[in-house]
Amino acid sequence: MNISLKHKKALVGGSSAGIGKAIAQQLAASGASVTLMSHSEEKLHHIVTQLPTDQGQQHQYLAVDFNNFKDYKKVISTYFENNTVDILVNNTQGPAAGSATEKNIDDYQNAFDLLFKTVVYTTELALKSMRSNNWGRVINVASVSVKEPLAYLALSNSIRAAVVTWAKTLATDVGKHHITV
C-alpha cells in the first residue's frame, strides 16, 4: 500500500536505531519531512543524510537526552518555537531492568520523567499546530508488557501502562480535531 505523506512533517523520538529509526525511514519514504530525535548526534547526522528527499522532504535532527527532563524540555520547547509537526512518534529507550522489589521511589520518578513526562510534554506542544490544521497523528510506542507485565521490567511495565491509558483518554479529547492517538 502506498501512503503519501508529502508535505507532512514528522517528529520521531528514539530514531537513531531500532524501531524509531525504522519508523523514521518509512515516514521519509512515504514523503514526510522527518525530524529525528535521540542522544547520539553522530548517528543522527548519518541517518538524516540517508533519508530520501525525492519528494522535496527536508530532514533534520535534534540531539536530546530523554533521561534529563529539564534539558529535554528546553530543547524541545525551542524546537517547537520554529517548527510544527503533523505526525508525532513518541518513542524512547526504556529504564533499567529490575523487579519491583529491586526498585525504589527515585527509580520510579526517573522512569516517570523518561517515559511519561517527555511524552505528555512533547504531545502538548505538537497538539497546538495539529488542532490549528484540524489534522494530526500521535503514535506512542509502548511494549507488550503493558498487556502482560514482565517481572524483570517493573519500571517499564508501570509507566508504559500509564502512557497507554493517558493516550486513550487523549484520543477522546482530540478526535473532534481529526487527530488520532
Q: pLDDT per residue over 65-82, tens digit each?
A: 999 999 999 999 999 999
DSSP result, 115-163: IIIHHHHHHHHHHHHHHHHT-EEEEE---GGGTS--TTBHHHHHHHHHH
User: pLDDT-derived band of residue 144, with 50, 70 and 90 as boundaries?
Assistant: confident
The pLDDT assigned to 1 comes to 59
Residue 3 has pLDDT above 80, yes or no: yes
What is the per-residue pLDDT across 4-49, written as a single tens digit (0 to 9) for each?
999 999 999 999 999 999 999 999 999 999 999 999 999 999 999 9
Whole-model pTM?
0.95
CA-to-CA separations, 157 to 61, 101, 147, 170, 181, in angstroms, rounded: 29, 14, 9, 20, 20
Report how far residue 123's alpha carbon sits from residue 25's, in angstroms, rounded to the nearest whole number.
21
Domain boundaries, the chain: 9-180
The pLDDT assigned to 73 comes to 97
- CATH class, 9-180 region: alpha beta
Mean pLDDT, rounded, for 108-115: 96
The pLDDT assigned to 113 comes to 96
The pLDDT assigned to 145 comes to 79
The pLDDT assigned to 147 comes to 81
User: pLDDT-derived band of residue 148, with 50, 70 and 90 as boundaries?
Assistant: confident
Average pLDDT of the residues of the chain: 96
